[in-house]
A and B are shown apart, each in its own frame.
Chain A
């Protein structure tokens, strides 16, 4: 297929229409939807509202609650390990605090536990891939904190709870918006290279659903920049990290406290027993489950392992029926379908337009509303552009940014986006880019309180694996904030628990046997096993002839 500057000829015809309307649209502000209009749009077009996409959970603390089939499948599955084969009398790692997950929340928790007085050698971060293979480093657009005089934690609170459809846990929202300031101060002191003006004030932009310009960024590598600094700090402080060793089951003690975990070394295929006085779950979300078949922005390991093992240990979940589809995933070219196009592109003025170059939604509505509007435009009104592989999408008119902010604004502020499209022959400073919603974030998760405690004693949790902070829909810039705020709290309160002096009783996996019993009593007959640890993208032809021989 012949491509002209990255696009086939028929797509170029639509681009010409986008160019024709651009000058007029620069002055045109699409009206914001009323609350009722938003609700109707969501009900009709948002994937969460499709009844065929979910079912009630049959067993456990959330029995009767709805969740996507892909999640319920993992909850209604047998454990990956056979507990009979695990020897709990031989402890491989005996620590004060076990942190499961080496992304943002886990690393922040480790640092603050260490600041709180737990020696580094008594902390262990166990993680599935490398230290930092997490969605935390992929966040592009920014982090919210209400520091400008025009802003206040009051407005931040209202934005968060309105964006979350008033389903958030209020005490967690209050902490999110107030602790935000001390997190930003901490980052300044650590040396996170935020975009600032000459006086040291942060350059702040709007995000979808924010009523004030509140997005602090570091170009469009915000997540990467924050994480590589905190990881550097963890390395300076000698925090031990065990890579390629995910937790496959939590361990309890005879008193019902969480007392560590069984880890699985994916390279040597052996298990390790970790005993801990406090355990912090920081395993992130579920993008790689490809809910309702959507592509995802998430990293390779986002398979909801933490949800599975916490649920088996009796932890309560919440809001698992709410999935975030980021409105602007790449829809073309095929090689990058589903990858994130940061909301900052819209924050800087790029509009969403259909194949005729016309706007159909205000560009900075909350994410779920934007996604629903794009789905309607493509599948109900047939105003989307169809790609050579049959995907549909709408245009994100990126050249507007250069007109509004001046030539070079994209390379300066959106270097990662520019680079990604350039690698595939598309110059987003000259041509619009094609987008469609992509699976982005697990809005719900393990329920926590102000102290990052779950409903099971001894188990703390922070970051995307938790639910309640964002209600039914998270706003841009609040996940980086979330993992810092609650990662810090998890570290501090886990340390306090240790310092109070907890004695760990005899270790047990009885809850795993009990869960098996629940499965059979509920009549669930399946050969599924969980957690799944990694998605499987191998070619069908290969899998058809695959045999497992023991070498």
Chain B
């Protein structure tokens, strides 16, 4: 134990190792280990477009890159990907793509209604380019195929982690806007396949009937000391899932 304790205090000082990246073809030396986003800022870029949540949730910083002498085109989120020496990169801060308009209450959860709003999905040639383009590593082609079959549950679940960056739509030879299709499919799944909660229904009715009115008004009028007492004596439900 004693020995390990001492070892834990040893901290290596990092050396500032530099790599060269090419931002839209222009070379910049940046510290290794930075994300693409932070490296561009280090190089002097101040983002207006191309940066959003900076944590992998918003899709604002979709980036494509290649290496010299490598034919392959790579896709990534600038905020979640470290720079590598020799990256030739550019951001794709916006992808034009049509979103269908619908009243979700009037769309039936079937293949034919998805095709009515997004007929281009029938042009899918199963090339899988969308899947290869996805920085979230989703099976994009599979959810488009599931949508075509009317398998709404599969399509909704496969597309759930989509951050709507649009790289799939930018790459698709059939000009499909996959992420918009997925949005419709997930709403259909949640609305028509998941049952409404009976507990929620019941509690909502109680609230509308004023069942908690008096109880809450009493709490609102309590002194801090009285509230504190009640708060401290709450019984805590067991940690764990209630299903």
Interface residues of A (CB under 8 A from B): 1, 8, 10, 13-14, 17, 32, 34-35, 129-130, 132-133, 137-138, 145-150, 152-155, 157-159, 161-162, 166, 170-171, 173-174, 177-178, 181-182, 184-185, 188-194, 196-206, 211-213, 218-219, 221, 223-225, 228-229, 232-233, 235-236, 238, 244, 266-267, 297, 299-300, 334-336, 339-340, 347-349, 355, 364, 385-386, 388-390, 405, 415-416, 419-420, 423-424, 534, 536-539, 542, 546
Contacts and interface: CB of A to CB of B under 8 A. Distances in A.
B14 interface: yes
The residue among B190, B207, B240 with the most chain A CB atoms within 10 A of its own CB is B190
Nearest to A181: B204
Nearest to B83: A335
A189 B44 CA distance: 47
Given A228-B183, A538-B44, A147 B200 contact: yes
Given A10-B8, A191-B190, A334-B33, 4 more contacts: A150-B237, A184-B197, A232-B187, A390-B11
B198 to A, nearest CB: 7
Contacts of B38: 335, 537
A158 B197 contact: no
B200 A181 contact: yes
Interface of B: 4, 7-12, 14, 33-35, 38, 41-49, 51-58, 60, 80-82, 99, 101-105, 136-137, 156, 160-161, 163-164, 183-184, 186-192, 194-201, 203-204, 207, 212, 215-217, 219-220, 224, 227-228, 230-232, 234-237, 239-243
> Which 10 A-B pairs rank lowest in CB-CB distance, beginning with the nearest?
A200-B195, A191-B187, A162-B231, A191-B191, A542-B44, A193-B190, A170-B220, A191-B190, A539-B42, A211-B234
A300 B51 contact: yes
B197 A200 contact: yes
A329 to B, nearest CB: 10
A528 to B, nearest CB: 18
26 contacts: A8-B12, A13-B7, A14-B4, A35-B232, A130-B58, A153-B216, A154-B212, A173-B220, A174-B216, A177-B216, A178-B207, A184-B200, A191-B187, A191-B188, A196-B194, A200-B196, A201-B243, A211-B234, A219-B161, A221-B57, A299-B54, A335-B82, A389-B14, A416-B57, A537-B38, A538-B44
A36 to B, nearest CB: 10
A219 B190 CA distance: 14
A166 B224 contact: yes
Contact of B156 (A13, A193, A355): A193
Contact of B199 (A8, A201, A211): A201
Contacts of A199: 195, 198
Contact of A416 (B42, B48, B161): B161
B59 to A, nearest CB: 9
A538 B45 contact: yes
B148 to A, nearest CB: 20
A213 B241 contact: yes
Nearest to B200: A147
A205 B241 contact: yes
A448 B162 CA distance: 35
A420 B57 CA distance: 10
Task: Count chain B CB atoms within 10 A of each CB in A34, A148, A219, A364 and give the residue with the most.
Answer: A148
Contact of B53 (A133, A150, A405): A133
A80 B46 CA distance: 18
Contacts of A335: 33-35, 38, 80, 82
A170 B49 CA distance: 41
Contact of B54 (A166, A300, A539): A300
Nearest to A155: B234
A174 B237 CA distance: 22
Contacts of A211: 234-237
